[in-house]
Amino acid sequence: MKICLVTGSFPEMRCGVGDYTRCLANELIKAGHQVTVLTSDQKEVRKIGELELRPEIRSWRSLNLWHILRELDRINPRIVHLQYPSLGYGRGLAPNLLLPVLRLLRPRIKCIITLHEYAIFSWLGKLRLWLPLAIAHGIICTNHHDRRKLRRMQSRAVRRVRVIPLGSSVGSVFENAGLKGNSDVIFETRPELDRNKTWLVHFGTVMPNKGWEIIIQAYSQLKQEGCLVGMLVVGELDDQQYAYHSRVKAMIQEAGLSEHIRFTGFLSADSAGRVIGSCRIAVLPFYGGARLNRSSMVAMLSWGLAVLTTTPDRPLEKLRSGRHFWTVEPDSPRALAEGIKTLLDDPMLVERLQTGAREAAERFSWKSIVQQTQKLYTSC
């Protein structure tokens, strides 16, 4: 099939949806499809392998919709698969109008939309999606929590929804079995790290919903207790561009944790996977609890790490705390600190959680994701 994936962000732009789109596109190409990615006009975008990129869209405002339509006419796809939301869209309305316009003016094109984090949209955000969801041939939710929220908002759309999980954009334990558990990789990557500390890993963009205030307070408690533990953050702290990053940096410095919480800076997918795969324990204390639309959670499970996270508001489908990951009370620095000590003091528990994570990782394999996506393409 000739498929066009539409996304506002694409590597080397720093957006999880862009990373997801890159992986999906490459796996669809491996399955024999002709894939084009239509994305934002950014200097960072580069051609990757056999993938055809069209970084042609300067703006995703509604007034630029006709330019987007012309580009799609040049590509001439059978399937248009919109990734929503995406950092590169900004506040533009063109992504919300694209599928209705295609259904009206290009009815031969099959329109698919993937919702990456529907549950956390505001009412206004959900309202903006009402029309594209009403007319899409197929809708993908990445988890059942989002599907339940969608059913409450738009019950008629549920018949066209498929739950297809996220995959890891930074590799997995199955792809790099020889790397797993090689802690020397951490010190090769960051030779200035203190080898006397046990280094846990955190992955993802620094954002308020990632529990940073809780992390800093928990590490302050661990430091006061003389616990030799550090956290290596696979990500960037850009305090020059983002006010929240500046706030996090100030909190770390005020708590005297600059040598305990270290950032790698932005890394390519391969380099990020190499660092993650060398660790054993991941710390992901999300506000509001763990969910499977968190790409960082999926990546840590895919690498077979013992994941310490916060208790979800609903059970995660087919995954169980104590077997596939370890949970502590949300919004509690003391609970997070105690959870870290529990894992550090019990190697057998860590090993059991790593085994459970590897079991969970099978459901996030790209082979399975592409098979389910192809099935949706052909059925709609």
Going by their DSSP bridges, the two strands 229-234 and 138-141 should be labelled as: unpaired
Angle at 226 between CA 224 and CA 229, to 5 degrees: 105
361, 301 Cβ separation under 8 angstroms: yes
Check if 2-167+365-379 and 184-364 are the same fold: yes
Looking at residue 162, what is its pLDDT? 94
Give the span between the Cα atoms of 295 and 168, in whole angstroms: 7
| Span 111-163, pLDDT tens digits | 999 999 888 888 898 999 999 999 999 999 998 889 888 888 777 777 899 99
* Residue from 304, 281, 28, 21 nearest 142 by CA: 21
Give the span between the Cα atoms of 378 and 25, in whole angstroms: 17
Mean pLDDT of the chain: 91
Please give the model's pTM, rounded to 2 decimal places: 0.87
- CATH topology classification for 2-167+365-379: Rossmann fold (3.40.50)
Spell out the domain ranges in the chain: 2-167+365-379, 184-364
pLDDT band at 313 (very low <50, low <70, confident <90, very high): confident
pLDDT band at 186 (very low <50, low <70, confident <90, very high): confident
- CATH topology classification for 184-364: Rossmann fold (3.40.50)
Cβ neighbour number for residue 70 with a 10 Å cutoff: 11
Q: What is the mean pLDDT of residues 226-242?
A: 92
Looking at residue 225, what is its pLDDT? 95
124 CB-near residues (< 8 Å, 6+ apart)? none
pLDDT band at 179 (very low <50, low <70, confident <90, very high): low
Phi, psi of 364 (to 5 degrees): -100, 15
DSSP string, 81-133: EEEES-GGGTT-SHHHHHHHHHHHH-TTSEEEEEESSGGG--HHHHHHTHHHH
40, 24 Cβ separation under 8 angstroms: no
230, 200 Cβ separation under 8 angstroms: yes
| Span 67-97, pLDDT tens digits | 999 999 999 999 999 999 988 898 899 999 9
